[in-house]
């Protein structure tokens, strides 16, 4: 049975320079409580801008042009800035791609985690320290009491990412957005970090939007996948073996063989490039790169066709 959504995004459009450089062109998706959903796409497809829009952290010059973001029944665009900030630090958590940018180099790891409990929950210094040490242990830092006093530059990338995960999940948020949290890590640490996010989110009942450019990472992690191309979701699916959009199929074929596994399959990169934001074209944005393009694809943009619940495809071949 489908659960009621905790997040509903409708027609979300974001641009830089007031429409001159559109980054997200009209996103529609929802997330239910406890669900883990993958958002996958090539570089520049709009994944991070989507994440920043949800968190209210759009960079300077970016504008939310249209659409709504309803989180737990509240339209975020209509909330006063202070309430929005409060919600984002408590009920929504963000795990950044590069943990060093998320951690302050001049404060110890422990102080940064304890700060959340002091500032958000009003705990005393001693209580906050005790909660922080517990949490550092829970995310797998060995000797959390000593780690508490250490600084970010003394930790490996994997350890730093564990700290960032601890901070994002500290207050048991209803929604966690993980923006390519393992890109800078080797495959063994990557698998550990993904396992940790999955375990902690399940323990806390948090929904997760897991952003990646690697479709394979989502296997076994997510209940549902949204494939993003040029600012739009072009496919939504629950079974990764049923990729129908030629772009999704291309992403799959472009994956290198699994680490440690032999494969006779040749790596097939998707030819060409995505249009630059604001570039004028007719029809489907993927048409110049699509080996299955029909005449109509160069004239009319395909509609986002619903084939079944949680199964949508934006392609003339599926109409
Ligand atoms: N600060 C910025 N100023 C201007 N344009 C930007 C800025 N940040 C992102 N963009 C543009 O917005 C579009 C979407 O970028 P976004 O960062 O969301 O892509 P992405 O899918 O997260 O890519 P990646 O996989 O490389 O992280 C791109 O065309 C990008 O050039
Ligand atoms: S609509 Fe046409 S060009 Fe676009 S992905 Fe489908 S077949 Fe390819
Ligand atoms: Mg990004």
Residue 266 has pLDDT above 80, yes or no: no
Q: What percent of the chain has pLDDT over 90?
A: 78
213 CB under 6 A from ligand 1? yes
Mean pLDDT over residues 225-246, rounded?
96
Per-residue pLDDT of 93-150, as tens digits, reads 999 888 888 899 999 999 999 999 999 999 999 999 999 999 999 999 999 999 999 9
Closest ligand 1 atom to Cα of 17? 4
According to the model, what pLDDT value does residue 3 have? 65
44 CB under 6 A from ligand 1? yes
CATH of domain 5-84+206-318: 3.40.50.300
Distance of CA 178 to the CA centre of its chain: 5
Per-residue pLDDT of 270-313, as tens digits, reads 999 999 998 999 999 999 999 999 999 999 999 999 999 999 99
- Tabulate helix, strand, coil % of the chain (nearest 5): 35, 25, 40
Per-residue pLDDT of 84-94, as tens digits, reads 888 887 999 99
According to the model, what pLDDT value does residue 164 have? 94
Mean pLDDT over residues 220-224, rounded?
92
> Per DSSP, which regions of 72-180 are E strands?
74-75, 92-95, 175-179
297 CB under 6 A from ligand 2? yes
Q: How many angstroms separate the CA atoms of 194 and 213, rounded?
A: 14
Per-residue pLDDT of 65-81, as tens digits, reads 999 999 999 999 889 98
Per-residue pLDDT of 134-190, as tens digits, reads 999 999 999 999 999 999 999 999 999 999 999 999 999 999 999 999 987 888 889
Nearest protein CA to atom 13 of ligand 1, as residue: 23
Residue 2 has pLDDT above 70, yes or no: no
pLDDT range class, residue 261, cuts 50, 70, 90: confident
What's the token pair of residue 299? Answer: 């004239």
Closest ligand 1 atom to Cα of 59? 1
């Amino acid at each position: 049975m489908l659960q009621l959504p905790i997040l509903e995004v409708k027609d979300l459009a974001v641009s830089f320079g007031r429409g001159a450089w559109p980054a997200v062109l009209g996103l529609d998706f929802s997330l239910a409580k406890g669900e883990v959903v993958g958002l996958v796409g090539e570089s520049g497809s709009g994944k991070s801008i989507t994440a920043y829009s949800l968190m209210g952290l759009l960079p300077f010059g970016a504008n939310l042009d249209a659409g709504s973001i309803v989180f737990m029944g509240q339209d975020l665009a209509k909330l006063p800035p202070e309430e929005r900030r409060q919600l984002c630090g408590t009920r929504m958590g963000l795990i950044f791609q590069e943990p060093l940018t998320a951690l302050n180099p001049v404060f110890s790891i422990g102080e940064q985690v304890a700060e959340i409990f002091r500032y958000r929950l009003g705990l005393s210094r001693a209580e906050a320290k005790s909660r922080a040490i517990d949490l550092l242990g829970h995310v797998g830092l060995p000797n959390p009491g000593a780690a508490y006093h250490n600084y970010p530059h003394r930790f490996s990338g994997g350890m730093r990412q564990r700290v960032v995960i601890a901070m994002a999940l500290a207050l048991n948020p209803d929604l966690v957005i993980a923006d390519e949290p393992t890109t800078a890590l080797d495959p063994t640490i990557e698998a550990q970090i993904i396992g940790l996010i999955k375990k902690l989110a399940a323990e806390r009942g948090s929904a997760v939007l897991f952003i990646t450019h690697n479709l394979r990472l989502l296997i076994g992690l997510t209940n549902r996948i949204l494939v993003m191309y040029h600012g739009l979701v072009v496919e939504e699916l629950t079974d990764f073996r049923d990729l129908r959009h030629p772009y999704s199929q291309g992403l799959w074929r472009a994956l290198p063989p699994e680490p440690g596994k032999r494969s006779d399959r040749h790596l097939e990169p998707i030819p060409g490039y995505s249009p630059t934001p604001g570039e004028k074209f007719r029809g489907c944005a993927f048409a110049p790169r699509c080996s299955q393009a029909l005449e109509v694809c160069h004239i009319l943009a395909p509609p986002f066709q619903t084939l079944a619940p949680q199964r949508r495809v934006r392609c003339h071949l599926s109409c």
